[in-house]
Structure 1
Amino acid sequence: MSDLLHQPLETIRRIQNDHLKTQLNLCARGHAFYRKQWQQAGLDIQAIHSVQELGRLPLTTKHDLMADPEQFRLHCPDLPVHERALWEVLHTSGSTGEPTPIYITSHDYQAYLFQARRVAEISGITDRDRLANLFPLTPAAMGSFARSEANAYAAGASVVGALTGAPWGDYDMHRSLDDAVQMVERHQCTVLWGITSFVRRVIMRAAELGADFGHVRMCGVTGEASTPAMREDIRTRLRALGAAGTIIFDRYGSTESGGLAQCREEGDWHNPAPEMIYHEVVDPDTGQPLPDGERGALAITLLARRGTVLLRYLVGDIVSLTRAC
């Protein structure tokens, strides 16, 4: 496993602080939203030297991002090509409003691969696995679907795209539920990757079709919480299809920041890339950080982003932070 995750907190903080200072300096040069915000607030960014001082910056809300996503895209034309060339555009909040673009440079994509490799190391996905991407093919590119490939690439695994979801567009590329079941069976997929209720639906349909899912050893589910009863139901159904001892992980994350990782079922989520992402739990009214263990709003700061950059961004979840597993 990557060494940084086993380093003392002081070492991690030193790296985070260095990355934060670089990120703030870039934003001061080429981030329209934060430059304006800081000027209006009279903030001296050069006086912020550590992640512990982030409380001096205002919070960023989803409304801020959705109101003008272009304002959050970094523009520094003197950066190396890989830091400014656009690799892809993903979208967030498509289910609750107009899809909001998240700009990803080549640098950011490589950083996500790095993060995904750490997630694979923590959760136990290897280069022997075959991932079944059961996320829907949506009209706007959503992170969970698009990043399934990157998660497989990072682990050295192979990936099968089921292309499920409600049909749209002119080219008739969507596949049926039965097609998805047959692909999992034919390719002997070892990891089912998708929205919790749809993964369960695939398993139920597999039973109706008499499919062999004996090779499935893990389900990585997200988008909906999986209760212990739901996980046991999925596991029981998989046992009937020939799979024994299937691990079911809840994947937590966002299109804006990528995924976190569980090291065991029902465990807390680990930040797999602390040199790239800093988490705070804050009082959403005052913006002030709360002590470890106290529940509050999750705010993320992207420490090494070159496309869409977000600082103290409120994800929309209530959580608590601990420092030990």
Structure 2
Amino acid sequence: MWNKIEGASREKLGETQLKRLQDTVTRVYELTPFYKEKFDELGISPKDITSLEDIQKLPFTKKQDLRNHYPFGLFTVPMSEVVRVHSSSGTTGKPTVVGYTQGDMDVWNEVMARVYTMAGATAKDVVHNAYGYGLFTGGLGFHNGAETIGATTIPASSGFTDRQIMLMKDFNATILAATPSFALHMYEAAKKSGSDYLKDFKLKSGVFGAEPTSEGLKEEVSRVWGIDYHEVYGLSEIIGPGVSSNCKHSKLLHVNEDHFYPEIIDHKTGQVLPDGERGELVITSLTKQALPIIRYRTGDITSLHREPCGCGRTLVRMESIVGRVDDMIIVNGVNVYPSQVEHVIANTEGVTLNYQIIADKKGHLDKLDILVEVNEDVLSDSVAEMEKIKKDIERSLANNLYINANVKLVEPRSIERSMGKAVRVVDKRV
């Protein structure tokens, strides 16, 4: 463990959480007109928070609230105390803007040090960081965490795949930090260049995140690079990467709940769900200074689990993100998550995990095309074999997801690659 609080008793952890929650509620009530108005509308004040269960009395915060107060309207410190600003991609409308005091940066570095420690990294390691640098929190978040544990850090950033391969090999990188889709893209480039990746590279572990990923894709990244796969979850509105990650003992992700209090709610009713049930993840920041957020609705679908972990950490664990409330697509009345489609593809022989889902209209009905790249060996197979693979995927989608889709097998590397998050869904209906 990086910090002993990761293995603290649940009683001690609860005491820490309550004190920090009370401080945060007081902070936003006194310093943020937005929250004071929300609290007053509900008839509550900071003194009403006397237990962790009382968090359910507090209002939710949504992404639109941050956009409505763009850029710095929800900050609780003067700009003279803000040492860093990041923002989301802002694909629609204004981006969400987040700020950090030096204290916030210390927390971020702390939780990312925990991430690397769970992945087995130490000061002796060389971290190849292939996350993009800039307003996106990924690059600098992973970078600072690696430096915090004393590792040698290579700020490779995203893109320039051939250079990435060369640096990773020549600098003897032992830890890879990247999105899983880019990690596979790098492998394809290494294989194409003729590199004997198992001999030429020294990688032992990887920290991957920034996009929902099926078990099949995780296993593929781990297999082709011959490394341990460690998943990292985070979001800029809360801190960036570092909200949770998994250790070698479990696929569930330890939530750093001394800094981030998690809840699972029914996204339609807002009611808190019991442990083990899937719903929308809601997070309250407990230690943020520049931009503390109360009950932030992440839109991510997951579940919480409190069973003991073999690593000794007592932190609550969360399931890998199944999908998002807002990127779930509804096809003729059926809810479909990209990760579910990916799971079907991952269990099919002869295809890669590079795919794209295209939703469109045919008359008044929805139609779904799924482009799937075949591997190079299949290209030489017969038309009959290709047709069998196509039908197998379509049958599995119908049997498991109850959707009728037209699967189109395409050549290797014909689907455009992303240097960041993979674009899995193209919805032409909107």
TM-score, normalised by the number of residues in structure 2: 0.65
Deviations 1:163-195, CA, capped at 9 Å, x for gaps: 334xxxxxxxxxx22111111112111111111
Deviations 1:253-288, CA, capped at 9 Å, x for gaps: 21223321101386111013x221100112234433
2:202 alignment partner in structure 1: 215
Q: Aligned letter for 1:254?
A: L
Gaps of 5+ in 2: 310-430
1:199 alignment partner in structure 2: 183
Is the CA contact 2:281–2:297 (under 8 Å) kept in the aligned structure 1? Answer: yes
- Confirm or deny that 1:128 pairs with 2:124: yes
Q: CA deviation at 1:57?
A: 0.8
- Confirm or deny that 1:145 pairs with 2:132: no
Structure-1 separation of matches of 2:91 and 2:140: 16
1:170 alignment partner in structure 2: none
Aligned residues: 300
Is the CA contact 2:280–2:300 (under 8 Å) kept in the aligned structure 1? Answer: yes
Deviations 1:44-86, CA, capped at 9 Å, x for gaps: 22111232111001111111122214232113x6xxx9xx711
2:362 alignment partner in structure 1: none
1:74 alignment partner in structure 2: 76
Structure-1 separation of matches of 2:110 and 2:157: 25
- Confirm or deny that 1:155 pairs with 2:118: no
1:183 alignment partner in structure 2: 167
Gaps of 5+ in 1: 166-175, 239-244
Is the CA contact 2:112–2:142 (under 8 Å) kept in the aligned structure 1? Answer: no
What percent identity do the matched residue pairs reach?
Answer: 26
Change (3 A) 1:246 1:96: farther
- Confirm or deny that 1:307 pairs with 2:286: no
Question: 2:208 aligns to what SS in structure 1?
Answer: strand
Q: Aligned letter for 2:284?
A: T
Structure-2 separation of matches of 1:306 and 1:228: 36
Query: Which of the residues 226, 230, 248 maps onto 1:249?
Result: 230
Q: Which has the larger radius of gyration?
A: 2
Change (3 A) 1:43 1:220: same
Structure-1 separation of matches of 2:202 and 2:45: 57
Is the CA contact 1:193–1:219 (under 8 Å) kept in the aligned structure 2? Answer: yes
Structure-2 separation of matches of 1:146 and 1:117: 13
Query: Which of the residues 272, 278, 289 maps onto 2:261?
Result: 278
Change (3 A) 1:152 1:113: same
Q: How does 1:1-325 map to 2 (within 5 A)?
A: 1=1, 2-69=3-70, 70-75=72-77, 85-95=81-91, 97-137=93-133, 141-165=135-159, 176-211=160-195, 213-238=200-225, 245-257=226-238, 258=240, 259=242, 260-264=244-248, 267-272=251-256, 274-324=257-307, 325=309
Is the CA contact 2:120–2:205 (under 8 Å) kept in the aligned structure 1? Answer: no
Question: 1:219 aligns to what SS in structure 2?
Answer: strand
Structure-2 separation of matches of 1:208 and 1:34: 54
| RMSD after superposition | 2.1
Question: 2:108 aligns to what SS in structure 1?
Answer: helix
